[in-house]
Amino acid sequence: MQFRDLQKQYEVLKPQIDAAVQKVCARANYISGQEVRQLEQQLADYVGVKHCITCANGTDALTLALMAWGIGPGDAVLVPDFTFFASGETVAYEGATPLFVDVDEGTFNLDPDKLEQKILEVKAQGRYTLRAVVAVDLFGLPADYPRIEAICKKHGLLLLEDGAQGFGGTVNGRRVGSFGDIATTSFFPAKPLGCYGDGGAIFTNNDEWADLIRSYAVHGKGAMKYDNVRLGVNSRLDTLQAAILLVKLEAFRNSELDAVEQVSRWYDQALAGCGFALPHRPEGFTSSWAQYTLRLPAGTDRDALQAKLKEQGIPTMVYYPKPMHLQKAFAGTDSARADCPVTERLCETVLSLPMHPYLTRDAVEQIAGKLR
């Protein structure tokens, strides 16, 4: 059994993917080929925003958004403490200071009350110019955007949606990628919509930021490629990856998103009443189920449980074992100062189970049976 079965997915989509790859190879237009523009158009339409700019990975997508906003030394950005490193790393790499905010125990996402508390605290201290909030759609569930957008607006802060894990999720019918002022996603193979390597995208309705990001992503280009009006980076999505993503986006919309929802329901049924805290389903929210993550009862020997399951051929993962503010990379900085007891508890008790669109009901029953 695999944690996320990408081989099975390829088996199912093989004829279309092979044809798409061959077409690109025959044309040999490997960089910025027509599939890239086609994909950007389809992604923008699906998400419901004006601009989609693809780039080399989800980390660059965050970086390019921060560059467009000119976030740098002296600025602070609020980031959830329970997330993948890149959500805060990119802020620090731009020279700004990520300050970490605790999450909600049930949704694993930014706690709006603690966010507002932290905003007031940072503003009162006056050490930094507070510029933006990064909200993460952890494990596929969108953050609480109705509240977070209102809080950011009230306090004059930019909102960056890190939708690396959330692509396909919705809040009251609105799709991930459309929240905040700029949203980003990742096409890393194991994400809800993954390519066959690294890839990422940026979404926004703002024309000016979209133009800036297109420039920053290609060496700060001006009117043409050899007219360089600012310092940028080289961050593009390969034509081959775009061609593969066009096939995978169709499968994602037609069946895969429904399939993971079904798998999550099977898990819910099979694990109900066993003492595990199962993923929350807030009213009006849908998840793209990047992970199915439960919380173990306090005091469970998680290492032993994982070892036992592994012996039975069941792979599990711990996302994430360490709060952001305790990462060594932030030691001795203001980023290390955070009051995040919920995140600390989650890091001790979470466990993610195999999850992908091709997981069968039998497999889910087997996993749940062993867990019970």
Ligand X SMILES: *Cc1c(COP(=O)(O)O)cnc(C)c1O
Q: Which residues bind ligand X (CB under 6 A)?
A: 57-59, 83-84, 86-87, 136, 162, 164-165, 186, 188, 198, 200
Specify whether the CB–CB gap between 24 and 243 falls below 8 A. Answer: yes
- Both structure tokens of 156: 């004059």
Name which of 331, 300, 332 is nearest 316 in CA terms: 300
Q: How far is the CB of 123 from ligand X (least distance, A)?
A: 26
Task: Compute how many other C-beta atoms are within 10 angstroms of the C-beta atom of residue 7.
Answer: 10
Q: How far is the CB of 137 from ligand X (least distance, A)?
A: 8
SS (H, E, C) the chain: CCCCCHHHHHHHHHHHHHHHHHHHHHHCCCECCHHHHHHHHHHHHHHCCCEEEEECCHHHHHHHHHHHCCCCCCEEEEEECCCCCHHHHHHHHCCCEEEEECECCCCCCECHHHHHHHHHHHHHHCCCEEEEEEEECHHHCCCCHHHHHHHHHHCCCEEEEECCCCCCCEECCEECCCCCCEEEEECCCCCCCCCCCCCEEEEECCHHHHHHHHHHCECCECCCCCCECCCCCECCCEHHHHHHHHHHHHHHHHHHHHHHHHHHHHHHHHHCCCCCECCCCCCCEECCCCCEEEECCCCCCHHHHHHHHHHCCCCCECCCCCCHHHCHHHCCCHHHCCCCHHHHHHHHHEEEECCCCCCCHHHHHHHHHHHC
C-beta closer to ligand X: residue 65 or 364:
65
Q: How far is the CB of 104 from ligand X (least distance, A)?
A: 16
C-beta closer to ligand X: residue 61 or 76:
61
Q: How far is the CB of 301 from ligand X (least distance, A)?
A: 27
C-beta closer to ligand X: residue 12 or 92:
92
Q: How far is the CB of 64 from ligand X (least distance, A)?
A: 12
C-beta closer to ligand X: residue 58 or 180:
58
Q: How far is the CB of 352 from ligand X (least distance, A)?
A: 12
Q: How far is the CB of 191 from ligand X (least distance, A)?
A: 6
When CB distances to ligand X are compared, the closest residue is 58
C-beta closer to ligand X: residue 101 or 309:
101
C-beta closer to ligand X: residue 68 or 160:
160
Computed on alpha carbons and rounded to an integer, the radius of gyration of the chain in Å comes to 21
Distance CA 121, CA 124 (A): 5
C-beta closer to ligand X: residue 195 or 342:
195
C-beta closer to ligand X: residue 186 or 335:
186
Task: Compute how many other C-beta atoms are within 10 angstroms of the C-beta atom of residue 29.
Answer: 14
C-beta closer to ligand X: residue 76 or 176:
176
